[in-house]
Amino acid sequence: MNHSAMLTQRPASATDLHEVVGFVLTPEELFFCYPKAAWPLTVGQLAAASAERRNSTVALLEGRPAGFANFYQWQHGDFCALGNLMIAPWARGQGVAHYLIAVMERQAREQFKAGRMAVSCFNANAAGLLLYGKLGYRPQAIVERRDPQGRRVALVQLEKTLV
């Protein structure tokens, strides 16, 4: 179902962060979207990340915050790296992630003159890997990381050319 008519976006505000921290339901989800954060996600942790990052953006579904993302790396004229992608549990499966990623791709092109966008996704995040593949992101590298329990995991680094 196409919900694009009901989806809008705007820069994230400090008050949005109180709602956004509730998007993350489990320690595993937090590891997927913000590996350096400690469970449970707090407004302070998200505010600190937002202060170091660029273009923290909220997607609104029918006026209600439904998604959040930002850039954790950016190189003007080259690339932006998508980070902290979180979708509200009530809004999952309604096109919010597709919409928000498209918004971030547009911001990367227009504000940073980026020719490509990078994303990283852990091997256990099948939904994320399938989403990025569907949106045209292609694997570039697989690097070893450790999960919060110290287990070896694979971080799949993907990239898409922005046109």
- pLDDT score recorded for residue 1: 47
CATH classification of the domain holding 36: 3.40.630.30
The total number of structural domains in the chain stands at 1
- Give the range of the structural domain holding residue 81, as residue numbers without chain letter: 4-161
Residue 3 in this model has a pLDDT that exceeds 90? no
pLDDT 10s digits, 134-155 = 999 999 999 999 999 999 999 9
- pLDDT, position 79: 98
**Per-residue confidence (pLDDT) for residue 163, from 0 to 100:** 87
Please say if the pLDDT value at position 4 is more than 70.
no
Residue 5 pLDDT class (50, 70, 90 cuts): low
In tens, the pLDDT along 85-99 reads 999 999 999 999 999
The pair phi, psi for residue 107, each rounded to 5°, is: -60, -40
Residues 58-111 pLDDT 10s: 999 999 999 999 999 999 999 999 999 999 999 999 999 999 999 999 999 999
| Close Cβ partners of 61 (under 8 Å, ≥ 6 residues apart) | 3, 6, 7, 67, 88, 91, 94, 96
Q: How far apart are CA 144 and CA 73, in angstroms?
A: 19
Q: State the distance between the two ends of the chain, measured CA to CA, in whole angstroms.
A: 26
The beta strand positions in 32-110, using DSSP E, are 54-61, 64-75, 79-87
Tokens of 148: 């919060």
